[in-house]
Structure formats: C-alpha cells, structure tokens
Amino acid sequence: MMKTWCANARTQEKYSRLNAAAMWQPMLRERGYRSWRACFGPWIGSDWTKVSLHHAGQFFRKQLISKPRHAHPADDQGPAWSHGAQDGWLLFRGPSSEFWFDHWIRDLKTRGVSFIWNTPLERFEYDGATITAGCLNSGALVEADLYVLAVNPFAAAQILARTPNLERQAELRLFKPLVQEGPHVQVSFRIAYYEPVIFPRARTAVVVADSEFNLTLFAEDQVWDSKVDLGRNVMALWTGTSCVGTVPGRLYNLPVMKCSKDQFLDEVKAQILSCESLNALIQEANGGRSLADFTIAKIEVWHEWIFSPEGIRGPQPKWVTTTNTQPYLPSQVTPVPNLFLAGAHTKTEVDVWSIEGAVESGRRAARAIDPAVEVISQYKPWWLRAISAVDDVCYRAGAPHVLDILLVSLLLSAALTIALLLI
C-alpha cells in the first residue's frame, strides 16, 4: 500500500492494472485475506475481483492520511461541528431523497434552473464544430450556449455513439473502452423487523466478511431522525448492499448476476444468519438474543433491479474503476468548445472513483467555463510528494520503486556496519 502512496506515474500506469486482492493474498492468512478484501465493497464501493491496487491504495491513503480537522460553523441545520480523518461515515438524518435531493431541487428551481424528468438525452446535434442542441427521446430539442455531459459513462457512450463524428473526438472516444467491462452489479436491499434490533455502535457499517456476495449492512433506524417513518409496525430497518456479482453463493451455487430474485433473497438471509461474528455483535447489544430470534417483517430488493433468465440488470448501470479503466479516464474539457464532461469517471486529482472525485470533476468543469471557480487541491503530505517525485524519476529510468531502493540501501548499510564491527 505504501508503494501506491509513494508514487505518481508508477501507480497510475502500473499498479492501476494489478488486482488489489491478488496482490495482498500472498501476504495474508486465509481469514485475514477474506476479511480484508470484504472491506473493498463498503469502503471502496467496488468488486474485490476487479478493483485495482492503485484504486485501493489511493482510497485508503485518503481515509488514513487526511488534512487536519475542518471546523464547520453553526448554521440553521445544527450546531458547530468538526470533521477529521477516520471520524466515521457522514450520514443524512433520513432517506436521501427527502433529506438531500428534494432540498437541492427546490433551491435550484428558485435560482431559475429548469428540469426535464423521465426524458433521456438521446443524442447531440453537432455541426462539426460545436454542439447546437441536445435531442431528447421525446423528440424535443434543448438549446443552450454550453453543455455539460454529467451522466453515467454507459449512457454517455450510447449518446455519443449516435453521432459518430462527435464520438471520434479526443476525450469523447475514450468512453467506448471505458465501459468495455460492463456495469458493476451492486444490488441494494433492505430488511425490516417488527422490533428493535440494535447494533453495538450507531453509524457503523457491518461487513459480513465470510459472505460470497460481499454483503454490507447498516442500521438506518439508529441514525435517522426519530420522526422518520420506517413503515407500518417496523421498529428496525437495515439497508444493505451486495458488492460482488460473480462469486457463486452457498445455497444455489449461482452468482448474483444469475440469481432469481427469490434465490438472491434466500442467499442474503442465509449468509447473514450464518455469520457468527455478526451474531455475536447482535447478542452483545440485545441482551444475549441471537439474530435468529428476531422475526423479519419484510426483506426486499430495491425496486429498480430486474431479475431475469438473461441476468440481472437495472435502468441506471453503475460504473466503477477496474484494472482496465485508468488509461481511458477522459478530461472535463473536450475539443468541442461548448461541451464539457463531469463525473467521477473523469480525470481528477482525487484519482479514485468516489463522491469526492465527482465533486471535484464538477468544479473542474465549472472552472473550464468560469476561471474564477476554485478547485480545492487534494491534501498530500510534503514528504509523500517528495518521495513520489523521486519515484517518478526511478520509474521513467526503469529502476525499482524508491522504497525498494531505500530498503536495499538500508540492508546493505546494516550489513556493511556489522562487517566493519566484526573486523
């Protein structure tokens, strides 16, 4: 991991093509290896079978070595608070639509922004020099001076493919190889209970480390505002994700991609109930009662997921970085002067697929339009920047990593010192 931290070009060009789980496996015992790779789902938001060493290393560097604490002043939403590294997840006080997106939509509407819902962008009108309109699948045209394509890269690739002259432009032609591996199957589900089921600590995700589907659970009722309606007679509400789509489950020997909905839900229940560590946590916080003692009121998959004999699919395919994506990340600025890109799938200083990468990409697109827009630089300690700069020289010269050179130098120095002492 330190090698990814102490590198620039080497990690982007070499480590980005190495599977993170495979690189760590020889150094860990089986239990440690399974536990470690299980963290990739909830923390990195990716599939451990595909995630790169570069992505994993850079992600955890930002988690563990962050800028000094940031003070948030008091406002109409609450008192002052401080945010630092390793403080845990920042969470809404209720469902994200009601507590976040609806507020933003209302605010943007008051600023004059118009929204067109449930009408996808079909293609761009391109005259060979600039974009003249966006064509919706309803047949309507949306005309503007500037266009920002900030949709998921699968949709972007389809939109651009309908205008071949536009698709061939630099940056834009990267979308086709960028999505070549297909979407990441990260299925959301939720479990409701008739009575409270407590986790020992609030604001903590539980990773079911021995789950074939890389299941992660979170107790929403322990975090949400007490006035949030969990559902009729529902006293505890867990949300969860299945982060690995290609590993066969224990009941039906089928991966998530090939399961029916009933098979998927059976696997989820079996993998949760058979986890001894999870059961121990539940017993600790619930007076010795086991998880099996609590009756499930309902378990359901998020409504967008469609299960069929052809495989699972959803209307909003999720893209994540893999060992085959780093060379194809496009810039926010394109050769078309009035077309810009945004999204965590574009090049950023964050350099990992994350919310922070998406935010930075939006600011970079905005700065390309208005140079007065500030893009906040990523924090990296001076000593890491210095070591990374030295490693860039080593990498371009075909030499080993600077940490390898340093280690060998220390060993030789120690051996020489011992030899001199023995003379």
Task: Give the pLDDT score at 13.
Answer: 95
pLDDT at 157 over 90: yes
Counting residues of the chain whose pLDDT is more than 70, the rounded percentage is: 99
The CATH number for 231's domain is 3.30.9
What is the C-alpha to C-alpha distance for residues 190 and 211, in angstroms, rounded to an integer? Answer: 17
* Distance of alpha carbon 159 from the chain centroid: 24
The range of the structural domain enclosing residue 349 comes to: 116-182+318-369
Assess whether 199 and 164 both reside in one domain: no
Name the helix (H) or strand (E) containing 319: none
Q: How many domains does the chain have?
A: 3
Give the up-direction half-sphere exposure of residue 236: CA atoms within 13 A in the CB hemisphere.
20
Residue 375 lies in a domain: no
The CATH number for 150's domain is 3.50.50.60
Assess whether 209 and 174 both reside in one domain: no
Q: Which two tokens stand for residue 318?
A: 């999720």
Assess whether 342 and 395 both reside in one domain: no
Q: What is the mean pLDDT of residues 283-297?
A: 95
**Lowest-confidence range among 212-216, 335-339, 416-420?**
416-420
For residue 411, give every residue at least 6 positions away whose Cβ sits within 8 Å of its Cβ, in sequence order, or none: none
Assess whether 257 and 290 both reside in one domain: yes
* Distance of alpha carbon 304 from the chain centroid: 19
Strands (E), 92-235: 121-126, 131-136, 141-142, 147-149, 187-193, 206-207, 215-219
Q: What is the pTM of this model?
A: 0.90
* CA distance readout (Å), 179 to 67, 175, 184, 188, 359: 33, 6, 10, 22, 21
Assess whether 265 and 234 both reside in one domain: yes
Of 270, 301, 332, at which residue does a domain stop?
301
Residue 279 lies in a domain: yes
Assess whether 295 and 216 both reside in one domain: yes
Of 276, 301, 326, at which residue does a domain stop?
301
Assess whether 205 and 291 both reside in one domain: yes
Q: Which of 252, 254, 291, 253 is nearest to 275 (CA)?
A: 291
Count of CB atoms situated within 10 Å of the CB of 3: 18
Residue 72 lies in a domain: no
Residue 374 lies in a domain: no
Residue 96 lies in a domain: no
pLDDT at 333 over 70: yes
Assess whether 286 and 327 both reside in one domain: no
Residue 191 lies in a domain: yes
Q: What is the mean pLDDT of residues 128-147?
A: 95
pLDDT range class, residue 88, cuts 50, 70, 90: low
Residue 84 lies in a domain: no
Q: What is the pLDDT of residues 234-252, one digit of tens each?
A: 999 999 999 999 999 999 9
Assess whether 122 and 176 both reside in one domain: yes
Assess whether 403 and 326 both reside in one domain: no
Assess whether 295 and 214 both reside in one domain: yes
Residue 290 lies in a domain: yes
**Lowest-confidence range among 53-62, 183-192, 196-205?**
196-205
Assess whether 257 and 361 both reside in one domain: no
Count of CB atoms situated within 10 Å of the CB of 143: 10
Task: Give the pLDDT score at 69.
Answer: 82
Average pLDDT, the chain: 93
DSSP 51: -
Q: What is the mean pLDDT of residues 358-386?
A: 94
